[in-house]
């Protein structure tokens, strides 16, 4: 619930200091558990290096490691924990379900847990917004929903080409990588990236209306762009640098799709589920996508992924797109529990109020370092502070970890600090984390200034 108290197992007098040792992106803890993980787990692990601690418990906006050090979470499982760690309603619902030997795995057979989630989602989310979607349960991760959306768009239109956008991120399976903008994922070793064109996202080119460019290319038979089966986009590019599309741009893209019978896919995996202040990020613009990809926080912290389908586009044959773990009943139970937040009259308003607190803090920081080129962008409870270079952002991330704040960076060069706390974070806790972020930015900037002085010393000021 909103306004949860501090968990009693996390003493409030604990300092936020996590460790006095230098932290690097390659460092991992040398405890027994940490050493075992480093010895056994693949080199592909990333966040274990970014946050070198062995975590043992979590509640609300805090995690605790094996040394009883408390960490404030502005990372939220990369957007999978919008409602915080172990919400009371989720814990109670899961314990009751497990104690009653509820079905855990069900493929797409019918279970009471699935029916209860569908009822909750229809009554609390879809109907109040006047939305009519069929719901497809895909495999458990976001990229599964994206793959299903691309396949369905191609099936319904009989066309194969897809338009995606610069700085877009849609997942790590092959179809999703094809529509992801990161250059590293377009090497030959990642497989074919045919039938995808990347065009400028809103604001990518200063003074260029990229929606008008898209329209012109679609309508010009000699542009080299085939009529697409689909256009896929994020309304806010979370991994791409917290780039916010304007409502007017989104409306124009929707109009292009309607006029040319192109399937509009909104990837709401990271910035949906209330992250922008409304359940769906596209609500701000008043548009209605044909397909919507949901994952991360929709499962209440457990793996779950959905594709919302405009009813007339639901042309799948039975079993045509499957996934062994599309029936995660524990996720159905957890998801139904967290949706109760949307019964609370002030829930959306409280998200926006907390968002204004973040914006005010970040704009003040950016104003302090305006000569360094800092800038701010965001909406709701996802905000980005652009600190210009990935090297600087990396130093800030590491400094914040040392002070007990989990935060990551994003963008083409990882140059944007991404502030993404739980939607349910207490205002005082939010301000506490923002002050840690401010102090660590000041520290990193001061150290950078010292690098240019004789002997690396600060001046008397």
Co-location of 222 and 305 in the same domain: yes
Burial class (CB in 10 A: 0-12, 13-18, 19+), 38: middle
Angle at 132 (CA atoms; ends 127, 133), nearest 5 degrees: 120
User: Where residue 324 sits, what CATH number does that domain have?
Assistant: 3.40.640.10
Q: What is the pTM of this model?
A: 0.91
**Residue 2 belongs to some domain of the structure:** no
What sign results for the dihedral spanned by CA atoms 17, 20, 24, 27?
negative
Are 109 and 232 in the same domain?
A: yes
In a domain, 126, yes or no: yes
Residue numbers of the domain that contains 79:
32-86+346-453
DSSP state of 138: -
CA-nearest of 212, 142, 211 to 173 is 142
pLDDT of the residue at 25? 45
* 3-state secondary structure at position 236: strand
- Choose one of 278, 309, 343: the last residue of a domain: 343
Measure the N-to-C terminal CA separation of the chain; round to a whole number of Å: 46
Domain count for the chain = 2
pLDDT number for residue 28: 65
pLDDT for residue 397: 98
- Environment class of residue 11 by beta-carbon count within 10 Å: exposed (0-12), middle (13-18) or buried (19+)? exposed
* Residue 188, pLDDT score: 79
Q: Is residue 142 part of a domain?
A: yes
Q: Which residue has the tokens 């314990």?
A: 95
- Domain final residue pick, 317, 343, 369: 343
62 with 103, same domain: the answer is no
Q: Are residues 39 and 132 in the same domain?
A: no
Distance CA 187, CA 180 (A): 12
Looking at the structure, do residues 164 and 305 belong to the same domain, yes or no?
yes
Asked if 296 and 426 sit in the same domain, the reply is no
221's CB contacts (< 8 A; 6+ apart) are none
Is there a domain that residue 7 lies in?
no
**Within this chain, do residues 187 and 242 fall inside the same structural domain, yes or no?**
yes
| 309 and 405 part of one domain | no
Q: Kindly report the CATH number assigned to the domain that includes residue 448.
A: 3.90.1150.10
Q: Quote the pLDDT of residue 187.
A: 80
Provide the residue-wise pLDDT of the chain in tens; the chain has 461 residues: 233 333 333 333 333 334 333 334 455 666 789 899 989 999 999 999 999 999 999 999 999 999 999 999 999 999 999 999 999 999 999 999 999 999 999 999 999 999 999 999 999 999 999 999 999 999 999 999 999 999 999 999 999 999 999 999 999 999 999 999 988 888 877 777 789 999 999 999 999 999 999 999 999 999 999 999 999 999 999 999 999 999 999 999 999 999 999 999 999 999 999 999 999 999 999 999 999 999 999 999 999 999 999 999 999 999 999 999 998 999 999 999 999 999 999 999 999 999 999 999 999 999 999 999 999 999 999 999 999 999 999 999 999 999 999 999 999 999 999 999 999 999 999 999 999 999 999 999 999 876 654 444 444 43
pLDDT at residue 31, rounded to an integer: 73
Q: Are 271 and 137 within one domain?
A: yes
Structural domain includes residue 100: yes
The helix/strand/coil state of 134 is strand
* Residue 26 pLDDT: 52
Q: Is residue 165 part of a domain?
A: yes
Residue ranges in 31-81 assigned as alpha helix (H): 32-40, 47-50, 76-79
- How far is the C-alpha of 338 from the C-alpha of 301, rounded, in Å? 10
Does one domain contain both 432 and 321?
no
Shared-domain flag, residues 55 and 113: no
| Residue where a domain terminates, one of 343, 359, 380 | 343
Residues 338 and 357 in one domain: no
In a domain, 330, yes or no: yes
Q: In this structure, is residue 48 part of a structural domain?
A: yes
What is the C-alpha to C-alpha distance for residues 369 and 363, in angstroms, rounded to an integer?
10
Residues 250, 254: Cα–Cα separation, whole Å: 6
């Amino acid at each position: 619930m909103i306004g949860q108290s501090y968990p009693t197992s996390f003493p409030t007098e604990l300092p936020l200091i996590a460790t006095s040792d230098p932290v690097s992106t390659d460092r991992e803890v040398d405890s027994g558990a940490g050493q075992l993980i480093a010895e056994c787990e693949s080199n592909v692990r990333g966040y274990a290096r970014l946050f070198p601690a062995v975590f043992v418990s979590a509640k609300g906006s805090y995690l605790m490691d094996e040394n009883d050090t408390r960490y404030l979470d502005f990372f939220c499982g990369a957007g999978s924990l919008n409602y915080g760690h172990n919400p009371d309603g989720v814990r109670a619902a899961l314990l009751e379900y497990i104690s009653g030997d509820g079905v855990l795995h069900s493929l797409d057979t019918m279970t009471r847990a699935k029916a209860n989630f569908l009822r909750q989602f229809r009554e609390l989310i879809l109907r109040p917004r006047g939305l009519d979607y069929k719901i497809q349960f895909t495999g458990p991760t976001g990229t599964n929903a994206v793959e299903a959306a691309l396949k369905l768009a191609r099936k319904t239109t009989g066309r194969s080409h897809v338009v995606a956008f610069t700085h877009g991120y849609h997942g790590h399976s092959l179809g999703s990588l094809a529509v992801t903008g990161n250059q590293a994922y377009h090497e030959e070793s990642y497989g074919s990236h045919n039938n995808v064109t990347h065009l400028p996202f809103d604001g990518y080119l200063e003074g260029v209306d990229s929606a008008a460019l898209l329209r012109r290319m679609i309508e010009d038979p000699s542009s080299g762009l085939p009529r697409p089966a689909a256009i896929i986009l994020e309304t806010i590019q979370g991994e791409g640098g917290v780039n916010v599309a304007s409502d007017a741009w989104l409306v124009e893209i929707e109009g292009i799709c309607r006029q040319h019978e192109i399937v509009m896919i909104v990837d709401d995996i990271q910035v949906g589920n209330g992250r922008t202040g409304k359940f769906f990020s596209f609500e701000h613009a008043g548009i209605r996508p044909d397909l919507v990809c949901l994952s991360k926080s929709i499962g209440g912290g457990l793996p779950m992924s959905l594709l919302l389908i405009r009813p007339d586009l639901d042309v799948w044959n039975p079993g045509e797109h499957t996934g062994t773990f599309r029936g995660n009943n524990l996720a159905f139970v957890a998801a139904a529990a967290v949706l109760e937040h949307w019964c609370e009259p002030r829930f959306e308003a409280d998200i926006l109020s907390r968002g204004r607190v973040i914006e005010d803090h970040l704009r003040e920081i950016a104003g302090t370092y305006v000569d360094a080129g800092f800038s701010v962008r965001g909406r709701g409870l996802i905000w980005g502070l652009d600190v210009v270079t990935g090297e600087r952002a990396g130093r800030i991330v590491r400094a914040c970890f040392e002070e007990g704040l989990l935060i990551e960076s994003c963008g083409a060069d990882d140059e944007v600090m991404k502030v993404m706390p739980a939607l349910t974070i207490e205002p005082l806790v939010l301000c506490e984390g923002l002050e840690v972020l401010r102090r660590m930015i000041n520290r990193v900037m001061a150290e950078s200034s010292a690098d240019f002085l004789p002997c690396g010393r600060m001046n008397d000021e």
